[in-house]
């Protein structure tokens, strides 16, 4: 066989079938849009299931002097002891930056771009260091978890300071405050 005969036998590469490729891209985009819509519907459904949760307490007019302050992130709230059972009602499921202030009146949580909330001192139930909450997992002790009572529900709220070395002081102060408040109530 000569070189010319080999060249004549070779076929050119197949041309891309643009219609099929565009069909696959459109199908993939529709699938992604469907998944996003289903996730949004699930979030709304979870919020409607938690609609019996009362409105969050407002900030007091005179909260008192700050014992501790912390800047960091709010990672969400869950039913106490159920670290994957996220609470989304009243904006508690929205992750955001947060500024915490502990006063004699309670815990003030200011969240730019999300709903602020206040936990009165009488509703605080405990504080601990943990490694995860509502789908967010960190190193052991990397998360400050505050347990508080809202209506008939015990809630765990997770915070991470910009300086994780602050967490133990928060746990000590919150637990001391809770013990003092419970002792005074008796």
Structural domain span for residue 178 = 68-185
Comparing 35-39, 58-62, 64-68, the range with the smallest average pLDDT is 58-62
Tally of domains within the chain: 1
For the domain that residue 110 is a member of, what is the CATH number? 2.30.29.30
pTM of the model: 0.75
Q: Is residue 102 part of a domain?
A: yes
> What does the alpha-carbon distance between residue 136 and residue 32 come to, in Å, rounded to a whole number?
23
User: Which tens digits make up the pLDDT trace of 97-106?
Assistant: 999 999 989 9
CA–CA gap between residue 124 and residue 129 (Å, rounded): 15
Residue 41, in any domain of the structure:
no
Identify whether 32 is part of a domain. no
Q: What would the mean pLDDT of 161-185 be, rounded to a whole number? A: 84
Percent of the chain residues past pLDDT 70, beyond the cut: 89
Task: Report if residue 89 sits inside a domain.
Answer: yes
Q: Tell whether the model's pLDDT for residue 13 goes beyond 90.
A: no
What is the phi-psi region of residue 89: left when phi exceeds 0, alpha when psi lies from -120 to 50, beta otherwise? beta
Q: Kindly state whether residue 33 falls inside one of the protein's structural domains.
A: no
124 in a structural domain = yes
């Amino acid at each position: 066989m000569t070189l010319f005969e080999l060249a004549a036998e070779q076929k050119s590469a197949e041309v891309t079938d643009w219609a099929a490729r565009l069909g696959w891209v459109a199908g993939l985009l529709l699938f992604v849009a469907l998944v996003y819509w289903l996730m949004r519907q699930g979030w709304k459904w979870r919020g409607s299931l938690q609609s019996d949760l009362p409105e969050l307490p407002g900030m007091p007019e005179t909260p008192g002097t700050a014992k501790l302050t912390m800047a960091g992130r709010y990672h969400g709230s869950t039913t106490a002891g159920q670290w994957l059972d996220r609470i989304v009602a009243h904006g508690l499921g929205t992750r955001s930056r947060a500024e915490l202030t502990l006063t004699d009146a309670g815990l003030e949580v200011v969240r730019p771009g999300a709903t602020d909330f206040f936990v009165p001192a009488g509703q605080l139930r405990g504080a601990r260091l943990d490694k995860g909450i509502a789908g967010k997992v960190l190193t052991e002790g990397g998360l400050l978890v505050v347990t508080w009572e809202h209506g008939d529900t015990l809630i765990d709220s997770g915070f991470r300071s910009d300086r994780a070395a602050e967490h133990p002081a928060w746990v000590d102060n919150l637990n001391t405050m809770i013990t003092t408040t419970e002792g005074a109530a008796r």
